[in-house]
Chain A
């Protein structure tokens, strides 16, 4: 490739910010006809933002997007489609109430709002059959399909639009290996016809099998682009991880030999999303739950708190079996569970109510606590140094970090025996993060069992005493001590072998 052809898509100095968060920072990137270009990176490295920029879902804050050399501004995915950029999204773009064939025709080129051109359906049937989709009827309603079937339909929907650039964002995550191989055959055929393919996957072996070139992203920047095979797994993982920091975190203590088990989870399951899972949390321990998004770890926390119906297995606190009948039971003194939800804005707080009213909510309904008494919360609020202009101001007047402090204080007032936290520091400034880390360590030292779900592997390494990594609904590896390293966490998250840790086959 001495004389490079015109790239199908190229972006120059593209930056995208969401408020204070920089999702893409000064990124240059090109994809050429006839290549499969894989994008690698951690959660939050900017991969999805890049894809959404190219497919017209979001507009870059600054920088230039070119289609076939010409600068373009996409007002929406419709414009990108007309430029030949077809994206198969991670969050599926299928409409649940419509049938498979209606979804295939939706927004198809040639039939906008007028009479539908049904000619692509024959091609679609043929393509579905070629990727093991014989059982998918074109008349079936999409909401009746399994996730894997949806992905097969989504792939066909992208292909019948005759793309110049095909973007696959975790397009095959729910498909089994033999179907994936057939999908790859289709993609290779497209590539050989000159289609450019952008490919995001967390499965290394898929990238190895399919990609011509690989770009690694980290913290919103492109780290390096290289031909497939130029670096081994370890080198690529190092590129994804980058620099590390540890002074953020309080020192870990060694656990006394006789530390008693507070939380005992045995064969807890919520099929099919959470497969039977067992682990314990001892007094003084912070146990981490890691893995890629949606591998079952957040469902597990919801299940433990009683938000899910039909969970299996047993849950014991200080030896006593605990029913999972809902938050109202879970927060009573005899159980002592507290759950800090993932989305603090929507689930953790009532934005229009005052700080004080929000603080009251958890303690209300506990006969042994006076919910309206400020003294109940004063301790935690002081420890966390909540900055506020008066407790009667609406909670929405606080910054994200201070809102999270309110959520924590409201639950800590109940003096929980077990604290379940779902990614409590997501999108929070560094100072607040260190305050929360210090608080969690102090609570652990005082005997609270802490179960921390995190998407930030630094927390899993430096704050947690033991970390369980989830993949496809089950714990694939439990890491502690020196095995608790970024390389091992990422390898376990991607379910590829690496040394160290207790592997669960």
Chain B
């Protein structure tokens, strides 16, 4: 039990914050805790949650992915062309969108691993490429999506928002089993001490490639979900989602130095950010002032996370050692 609390301290703190924020939101919302309110809230949270998961996979191996928003924009515009017509066509379209995301991630990973370039530089460059392709696919927002499918995914199941069901499936059917595989363990090992992982005989190269590919895959899932929520393709969404994904993982207790944090933390961080945004929407704060408040909350969260350095006994440790 003691180990559980110390291992998940960050997630527990973040979920406490989320519970408080959500109670305030539902308490002050004119329509209260209705399925309608919850569904809209959940859809917004889950879009960002999925991008945050993409970012999490890059950050956990001591990387960063500035192209997650761009992958999302690319897959969103692609989906806006492919998600209409017969069931078979839609099915193939979904597969094509996911494959596109994985390929984007794999390209990032290959450039990082084999090109030996820092992730921040690689993904800054590829982000422009992906947005470029997205603009060719969809110069102005638009497109058509099968409405029945979009409704099924973005409304509710017996009163529970479908988006939350998707998140539950993701956590219990994917993340928890995945964490118990060699790859799941290897991601943390590489991010925490690549040397230790290498000396333990782990295939460090393969793990890094897998991490970036997973980032691409979840970028695509985010793009897909965004398509169902908005039923349009829009190439202009990249920068906002990239920045918010980084903010979300930090809020969720994922350390940017790698090796610490979890997919659940990334999700909670995204939910917190979106709940704050929703709160401000109803609290009367002008929407133009929202980034200011979001930024301040983020700065405080990061400052608390970095307070460890005050306890360092070797002054040289303050300089990144």
Contact = CB atoms under 8 A, between A and B. Distances in A.
Contacts of A105: 182, 185
Given A307-B315, A309-B314, A97 B199 contact: no
A97 B186 contact: no
Contact of B199 (A77, A112, A144, A308): A77
Interface stretch (B187-195, B212-220, B292-300): B187-195
Interface in B259-274: 259-260
A137 B180 contact: no
Interface in B32-63: none
Contact of A97 (B4, B188, B200, B207): B188
A113 B183 contact: yes
A375 B196 CA distance: 48
A404 interface: no
A308 B192 contact: no
Interface residues of A, number: 43
A107 interface: yes
Contact of B197 (A95, A139, A306): A95
B219 to A, nearest CB: 22
B203 interface: yes
Interface string B292-321: 000000000000000000001111100000
B201 A77 contact: yes
A329 to B, nearest CB: 12
A81 B185 CA distance: 18
A494 to B, nearest CB: 26
B3 interface: yes
B222 to A, nearest CB: 25
A95 B193 contact: yes
A381 interface: no
Contacts of A17: none
Interface stretch (A61-69, A85-93, A280-288, A480-488): A85-93
Contacts of B259: 95-98
B200 A93 contact: yes
Contact of B201 (A78, A94, A139, A141): A78
Interface in A40-57: 57
B312 A309 contact: yes
Contacts of B260: 97
Contacts of A77: 198-201
Given A95-B192, A141-B6, A107 B200 contact: yes
Contact of A115 (B181, B193, B198, B315): B181
A308 B313 contact: yes
A137 B4 CA distance: 12
Majority secondary structure, B binding face: helix
A89 B196 CA distance: 10
Nearest to B3: A139
Contacts of B206: 113
Nearest to A308: B314
A310 B195 CA distance: 30
A302 interface: yes
B202 A97 contact: no
Nearest to A326: B315
B181 A97 contact: no
A116 B3 contact: no
Contacts of A326: 315
Contact of A78 (B191, B203, B313): B203
B7 interface: yes
A81 B3 contact: no
A354 interface: no
B51 to A, nearest CB: 24
Contacts of A116: 180-182, 185
A310 B185 contact: no
A76 B201 contact: yes
Contacts of A140: 3
Contacts of B188: 95, 97-98, 102
A389 interface: no
Contacts of A225: none
Contacts of B312: 309
A115 B196 contact: no
Contacts of A95: 188-189, 192-193, 196-197, 200, 259
B314 A106 contact: no
B180 A115 contact: yes
B6 A113 contact: no
A185 B7 CA distance: 34
Contacts of A137: 3
Contact of B192 (A80, A98, A302): A98
Contacts of A307: 314-316
A308 B314 CA distance: 4
5 contacts: A87-B199, A89-B199, A92-B196, A106-B202, A113-B182
Interface of A: 57, 76-78, 80-82, 87, 89, 91-99, 102-103, 105-107, 111-116, 137, 139-141, 144, 157, 270, 302, 306-310, 326
Interface of B: 3-4, 6-7, 180-183, 185-186, 188-189, 191-193, 195-203, 206-207, 210, 259-260, 312-316
Nearest 9 CB-CB pairs, A to B?
A139-B3, A107-B200, A93-B199, A97-B192, A78-B201, A107-B201, A97-B259, A81-B201, A113-B183
Given A57-B199, A92-B196, A97-B260, 6 more contacts: A78-B203, A107-B197, A107-B202, A114-B182, A137-B3, A302-B316
